[in-house]
Chains A and B, each alone.
Chain A
């Protein structure tokens, strides 16, 4: 056993693979167990399984509001391939997503390193508290703040005026050239609290003797980060990679608040927002379900592929390696 897929590592064993759990002598009546499980299962069935089944079915139908749906097979997916707006939304997502992915993977790592290098535990703790603190502001309000920052009376405009760069002032979110980049820079400097905490947890997992050995061997700080820290936190890197991509693909709440409809034109349109608009603005429910299904399939395949390609090993102190 030299390589263990990381996702398995911390998983409590599944019900069937827990042989030590035997049925106690005085087992309660089965009817009681089922009665207690009835509510949770019923909730899940009604509010998760029914919509999921409906989404799956209606992805293959033409379904306008107030009308019965008609089966059109892969029609929606063919429409999608030929749909200029959808293709534009994919290009936008690719641009926006690759930038957001890179900065949200790297900056939090650097911040976690900076915190990890603080000498006193008190400061390390306070710094972690500080990076998490912005999360008490509702996400919606944070986006509203950024919309303000980019606005005519906003911080960016005032900053440029103070620096005597009046020529640069323009509507960051309304100009076709800058809108997508304005969206991308929301959250600057990207010290995302969740990501920092995950990286930091990874760094504290590295056994002290490994770090000390590296120091004794004369590895400099950069060498330690490159050759010790990064290889030993690959699990966290993989986790954040997956979580961040999922969040980018699904997240259109911010764009909805910043630009309302993916404008100017379709400059900030992303597939999620397009799905939303098809469902609630254009009333093309079947098409909306198809876009949702396409996004889900993409994410499932992506997750499986990343898990297959990035096999990470758990570090076993003292355990002989095969």
Chain B
């Protein structure tokens, strides 16, 4: 690309768009360090001295919610990864009566957005006596989160050469040992993607915990922020310090796994694990950039097409 005036223009535009995108967040961090007087008198610029006590105060108010969020997210991810790996492996590797029915029965649920079942789900967990517990969040999150995981891992495992597993079999490794010692280590990149997608989903989850929890003992951060907001009304510095704190956990995750994070975000839509698949199989046919070809699919739609085709073929 030649250095033309227009390319300067494009770069300038890009910088402007990025600045505007970031502005609310820059403002948030800047204001989180001000007291109320500074907020009203130096609105647009950073003001000194910095009021770090805003963070101490905000953290005191939010620490319980943060802990709850970390707990719910951690336990949910563990469950999701475990279920996805086991079920994905079984569906990919073994043939057993009812395999297709079970697999499509699981995947089909991807088509139904959970938010549209908010009301009946609420009545149901209330009947189960789960309201206001960690379980009311963890159990449904695992149930829903495993679906994409099973889909991605089944896809991944069915692309791995059988030889690896057959070799393990010859060495006397049974199903569980093959799963634990061969399959899961190979699937680490895909499991990472599933973990990130789940972390984003669970950490950001709002409506479900909003309707199912009311006690601050189990309340997660997103819902707790609503209470916090009214508690710190008018104290802008403290309010923004709380907002900033809420971004730190995912911020840390992002800082330590930027590439995986970026892949995770799109993996609901882009086929994950291009790299591991390429490692497990012979070299891809096309050299260079072609190798990084992404396939686009949308799980829910995809399943629907498969199912309608099957119905057509069957009739």
Chain A contact residues, CB within 8 Å of chain B: 5-16, 18, 20-28, 30, 32-34, 36-37, 39-41, 43-44, 46-52, 54-55, 58, 107, 110-111, 113-115, 117-119, 127-142, 144-146, 148-149, 153, 155, 158, 162, 188-189, 191, 193-194, 197-198, 201-202, 204-205, 207-208, 221, 235-236, 239, 242-243, 246, 250, 252-253, 256-257, 272, 275-276, 278-280, 285, 288-289, 292-293, 295-296, 299-300, 303-304, 307, 314, 317
Contacts and interface: CB of A to CB of B under 8 A. Distances in A.
Nearest to A300: B111
A27 B174 CA distance: 9
Contacts, number: 307
B159 interface: yes
Contact of B296 (A10, A15, A146): A10
Contacts of A141: 222, 225, 243, 246-247
Given A114-B10, A134-B25, A235 B100 contact: no
B63 interface: no
A199 to B, nearest CB: 10
A256 to B, nearest CB: 8
Interface string B124-151: 1000000000000001101110110010
A40 B221 contact: no
A278 B214 CA distance: 19
A303 B304 contact: yes
A292 B165 contact: no
A18 B28 CA distance: 53
A139 B258 contact: no
Contacts of B294: 10, 201-202, 205
A119 B14 CA distance: 13
B273 to A, nearest CB: 10
A208 B6 CA distance: 22
Contacts of A205: 292-294
B298 A54 contact: no
Contacts of B43: 158
A22 B94 CA distance: 8
A250 B298 CA distance: 17
The dominant DSSP class at the B interface is: helix
A174 B87 CA distance: 50
Contact of A37 (B90, B109, B116, B236): B90
B315 interface: no
B152 to A, nearest CB: 9
Contacts of B158: 12-13, 18, 21
29 contacts: A14-B104, A15-B103, A21-B92, A21-B95, A24-B166, A25-B169, A33-B175, A36-B86, A37-B90, A46-B139, A52-B109, A114-B10, A114-B13, A117-B7, A118-B11, A127-B18, A131-B18, A134-B21, A137-B25, A139-B206, A149-B24, A153-B40, A158-B43, A201-B270, A257-B226, A272-B115, A275-B116, A276-B118, A292-B116
A292 B121 contact: no
A48 B110 CA distance: 10
B312 interface: no
A221 B6 contact: yes
Contact of B265 (A15, A20, A193): A193
Interface size class of B (residues with CB under 8 A): 35 or more
Interface of B: 1, 6-7, 10-11, 13-14, 17-18, 20-22, 24-25, 27-28, 40, 43-44, 83, 86-87, 90-97, 99-100, 102-106, 109, 111-113, 115-124, 139-140, 142-144, 146-147, 150, 154-155, 158-159, 162, 165-166, 169, 174-175, 200, 203-204, 206-207, 211, 221-222, 225-226, 229, 236, 239, 243, 246-247, 250-251, 253-254, 258, 261-262, 265-266, 269-271, 286, 288-290, 292-298, 300-302, 304-306
Contacts of B286: 317
A19 to B, nearest CB: 11
A127 B221 contact: no
A140 B295 CA distance: 31
A146 B207 contact: no
Contact of A14 (B20, B116, B306): B306
A9 B296 contact: yes
A80 B106 CA distance: 32
A106 to B, nearest CB: 12
Given A9-B297, A44-B106, A44-B109, 6 more contacts: A11-B306, A40-B86, A46-B143, A117-B1, A253-B206, A253-B207
